């Protein structure tokens, strides 16, 4: 019984972690370069972790699925040594590859203080 419940919770988290977030989805071309933009792809465990943590934060951000936006995928490769390493997040145009929520919050605070 406990194993089944655990499996159900894991499946639920995987499904929820891969759903697009209403009101946050955008394209690389339309993304606000002065704000916070999260580049992600479905199935990425690191993306699911950061996206889940961002759900419970008060940070304003937009999301770009690099599998749906070739221009976004090219951007990620340009800042990640030619790799499509996600999550990649930009804060005020400055890219961070696979940042922690803490690092992301520090970058947003530094931007807001400037």
pLDDT tens, N- to C-terminus, the chain (114 residues):
688 887 777 666 666 666 666 667 788 888 888 899 999 999 899 999 999 899 888 899 999 999 999 999 999 999 999 999 999 999 999 999 999 999 999 999 999 887
Q: What is the pTM of this model?
A: 0.83
Cis peptide before 87 (omega within 30 of 0): yes
Domain boundaries defined on the chain:
2-113
Which strands sit side by side in the sheet containing 36-40, from one edge to the other?
A: 62-65, 36-40, 88-91, 94-97
Identify the architecture of domain 2-113 in CATH: 3-Layer(aba) Sandwich (3.40)
CB atoms within 10 A of CB 8: 10
- What pLDDT shows up at residue 85? 96
- What pLDDT shows up at residue 91? 95
Q: Which two tokens stand for residue 78?
A: 């340009």
């Amino acid at each position: 019984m406990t194993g089944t419940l655990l499996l159900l919770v894991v499946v639920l988290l995987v499904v929820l972690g891969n759903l697009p977030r209403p009101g946050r989805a955008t394209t690389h071309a339309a993304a606000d370069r002065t704000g916070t933009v999260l580049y992600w792809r479905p199935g990425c465990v690191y993306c699911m972790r950061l996206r889940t943590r961002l759900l419970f934060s008060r940070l304003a951000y937009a999301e770009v699925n690099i599998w749906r936006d070739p221009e976004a995928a090219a951007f990620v490769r340009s800042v990640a040594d030619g790799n499509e390493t996600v999550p990649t997040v930009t804060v005020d145009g400055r890219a961070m590859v696979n940042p922690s929520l803490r690092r992301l919050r520090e970058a947003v605070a530094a931007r807001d203080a400037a």
